Amino acid sequence: MMFRRSIGDFSVPDTGMEDAAAPPTFPQAVAQFNPDYFLRIKPGEAWFGSGKNASGVEGQASSSGGLHAEQHFEFERPVRPGDVLYATEKAGKTWEKESKRAGKLMFSERIIEYRDADGTLVCTARGVGVKTERPVDQG
Amino acid sequence: MTIKASEISVGDTFEEVLVEDLKRTQLVMYSGTSGDYNPLHSDDKYTTEAAGYPGVFAHGMLTMGMTGRVVTNLFGPENVKKYGVRFTNQVWPGDDLTGKAVIEAIREEGGETLVDLAITTTNQNGDVVVMGNATGRVEA
C-alpha cells in the first residue's frame, strides 16, 4: 500500500486490507529486508548523508557513484500480500563503454531470483548498474 | 479498465500523464518505501557539493514504478509477465512525465493470450527518460 502510494498508483483503494497483486517493480523493495544492504541504517552506526558537511555514504566514491542503467522483471506468478519470498542474488556480466556525456561507463549486471517457501521461482529481476567516470553532463 | 485482445490492434497507443511538477516529497516517499536511501535522491547538499549534479534527481526505479502504472492499468498487476526498461535520461524535481505504451504484438502462447507493449516515458521537453517493453496476459 505504501509502495503503491509512493509511485502514485491509486488504482487500489487504500483499505489496509487489499490483496491486489503488487506493482511489478515492488520486488526492488527487497532492500528493506536485506540486513546487509549498504544504504540501510544499522544499529550503532552513524546515519549517512549531509549534516554540517556534504557527505554521502562512507567509503563510496562521490561523483562516480552508481546509477541505474536498466531493470527487468520477469514473473512466473504475481507477487501478493502475504507472500514470503526468498531472494538469491548473483552477479552477471560486466562491460565497459565510452560516452560523451560521462566518460568511461562501467556496467555490471545483478540478477536476483525470488522463490517461495517450496523453492518455486516467482520472479527474476535483472538490474544493470553503471558507474560513470564523471557526473552525467546535463548539456 | 484492462484491455481485451478482441478490442485492440497492433499499433494502438495508450498514454497517461504520470506526474506533473514532480515534487521532492515524492522522492523522499519513494526512498522510504523502497529502502533506496541513496543521498543523490534526497540530499541536495551532497548531490551538488560532493557528487557534482545540479540537485537531487529521481530514483530510476521511481520513474520505472510510475511508468509501470501504464502497464498495470492495461493488464492488471496480476497479469504482468515481463516488464523491463533502460534509463536513458535523469528525471528532476519539477519534471512532467508522460508514459506511452504501443501494442507491438497480440499472440497466443501456452494457452494464454499475450500482448507485447513498447513503453516510453518522456519529460516536458520531449526527452525520453525510460524506454522498454512489457508483456502481459489479457482476455481473448
Q: pLDDT value at position A139?
A: 67
What is the Cα–Cα distance from B102 to B135, expressed in whole angstroms? 11
Q: Which domain holds residue B110?
A: 5-22+59-138
Q: Write the residue in B19, B64, B81 that is nearest to A71 by C-beta.
A: B64
Q: Write the residue in B40, B49, B68 that is nearest to A7 by C-beta.
A: B68
Yes or no, beta carbons of B85 and A71 under 8 Å apart:
yes
Could you tell me if residue B100 is inside a domain? Answer: yes
Yes or no, beta carbons of A72 and B79 under 8 Å apart:
no
A63, closest residue in chain B (CA to CA): B51
Could you tell me if residue B28 is inside a domain? Answer: no
Could you tell me if residue B30 is inside a domain? Answer: no
Could you tell me if residue B101 is inside a domain? Answer: yes
Q: pLDDT value at position B86?
A: 97
DSSP 8-state assignment for residue B139: B
Yes or no, beta carbons of B51 and A56 under 8 Å apart:
yes
Q: Which residues of B touch A48 (CB under 8 A)?
A: 37, 39
Predicted confidence (pLDDT) at residue A52 exceeds the cutoff of 70:
yes
Yes or no, beta carbons of A31 and B35 under 8 Å apart:
yes
More confident call, B7 vs A1: B7
Could you tell me if residue B16 is inside a domain? Answer: yes
We report the CATH number of the domain holding residue B132 as 3.10.129.10
Q: Which residues of A touch B37 (CB under 8 A)?
A: 39-41, 48-49
Tell me the pLDDT tens digit for each residue of A71-117. Answer: 999 999 999 988 999 999 999 999 999 998 889 999 999 999 999 99
CA dihedral angle for residue A117, residue A111, residue B132, residue A94, rounded to 10 degrees = 180
Q: What percent of chain A has pLDDT over 70?
A: 91
Q: pLDDT value at position A46?
A: 82
Q: pLDDT value at position A58?
A: 59
Q: What's the ipTM?
A: 0.94
**What does the pLDDT average to over A5-22?**
84
Number of domains in chain B: 1
Yes or no, beta carbons of B33 and A29 under 8 Å apart:
yes
Q: Given 3-state DSSP classes, what are the helix, strand and coil percentages for chain A, each rounded to the nearest 5?
A: 10, 35, 55
Q: How many CB pairs under 8 A join A and B?
A: 163
Q: What is the pTM of this model?
A: 0.93
Could you tell me if residue B91 is inside a domain? Answer: yes
More confident call, A78 vs A51: A78
- For A15-19, A102-106, B11-15, B41-45, which range has the lowest pLDDT when averaged over its residues? A15-19
Burial per residue of A85-105, b for 16 or more beta-carbon CB atoms within 10 angstroms, e otherwise: eeeeeeeeeeeeeeeeebeeb
Domains of chain A as residue ranges with CATH: 57-132 (3.10.129.10)
Q: Write the residue in A7, A11, A34 that is nearest to B65 by C-beta.
A: A7
Could you tell me if residue B35 is inside a domain? Answer: no
